[in-house]
Structure formats: C-alpha cells, structure tokens
Amino acid sequence: MRFLPLLLLVLLLGCGQAGTSPETPATMTSQDVDPEARLQELGIELPNPPPPVANYVRSVRTGNLVFLAGHGPLKPDGGYVTGKVGQDLTIEQGYDAARLTAIALLASLKAEIGDLGKVTRIVKVMGMVNATDDFTEQPQVINGFSDLMVEVFGEARGKHARAAVGMNSLPIGIAVEIEMVVEVAD
C-alpha cells in the first residue's frame, strides 16, 4: 500500500509519452521554442527594416517593454500590399498581408533587441484593416499576424491581447497596419 501513490505518479507521468522524444513538440514548452530557428524552419528571412518616413522611430524600449510603431505589409521587393479588403483584396489576401506585416514587425523588433529569443511575451496587438464600409471580417484578416506569432514563439509567448478593426483608409493605401507591444527579458 505504501508504494501505491508512487506507482500512480509514475504511471501518470508516463501516460502519453510513449514514442515521443524530448525534441518533439508534444513535450516542448513555449519557452523551449527558439524563435530564430522557427523562422528558418518556416523559410522566413527577416528583411532590414526600412528607415521611418517621418519624424518617429520604429520602436521604443522602456524597461522590459518594446512598443513597435504601426507597420505595413512589406513585400520582399520593398513595395507594400495595397488595396481595400472586400473590394480589391480577398480575406485570404488580407490574411497574407497581415502575415507580411508580422514579418516586418519581427524585423524591427530584432533590430531593437538583437535576439528574438529575448521575447518573453507578445503582449498587445492593434490590427487595422483597410476595408470597405460593409466588411466585418477584420479578425480573420489579422489572424495572419496572430497565427505567425504563435508559430514563431509558441502558445505561451505568442498568444496576445488584440484588437482588429476596420479603417476607411490607411497610409499609402496599405491593406493592413499593425502595431504591437512586446515584453522582453533583461
């Protein structure tokens, strides 16, 4: 009888572990995710962030928080995805634009902190969608951003508080603009 609690503990710890190794996602925690390695696995190369076009900076760090200015969907050729979702672009094209915006934000974040492994949490995201007046699927568009954050940082560090709103227009006609707040380690 004295060994029953120990036996139960061993059985519970062993359940669901058969056939997995320490490197498999089934046993990894979000803190084990190496965001730099995940970007490589996903085939994503972060661009050099372009300089700001006005009197502002792309990011500001205060304490353990990094505030990133609004970024748009920067294409690999240096241009931007433009147009209104619901008129010029489909939801899927908007989703892809939000994913490109996530890559641009990660590039600026890396330029600010040096190593994305320092990210402890994506805290807050403000997603703005250039959309027609009757378009109501802004969350599905901004999911392009949110899904990539979870892919890169894992659930615990990548999931975030978020707003996804429609706009009548955005600068230079970009399809999406997103800003975010990130917590980083010292």
Residue-wise pLDDT tens digits, 17-35 = 333 333 333 334 456 789 9
Interacting residues of 183 by C-beta distance below 8 A, sequence separation 6+: 64, 65, 66, 119, 120, 121, 123
- Give the pairing type, strands 161-167 and 119-130: parallel
> Could you give the domains of the chain?
10-184 (3.30.1330.40)
pLDDT in tens, 60-70: 999 999 999 99
Q: Taking the model in full, what pTM does it have?
A: 0.83
CA 55 → CA 52, 58, 177, distances in Å?
Answer: 7, 10, 18
Residue 162 has a pLDDT of 98
Residue 31 has a pLDDT of 60
Residue 20 has a pLDDT of 32
Residue 32 has a pLDDT of 77
* Residue 58 DSSP one-character state: S
CA gap 92, 85 in Å, rounded? 9
Which parts of the chain are beta strand (E)?
59-62, 65-71, 119-130, 161-167, 176-184
- Structural tokens at position 173: 């006609």
- Under the banding of pLDDT at 50, 70 and 90, the label for residue 5 is very low
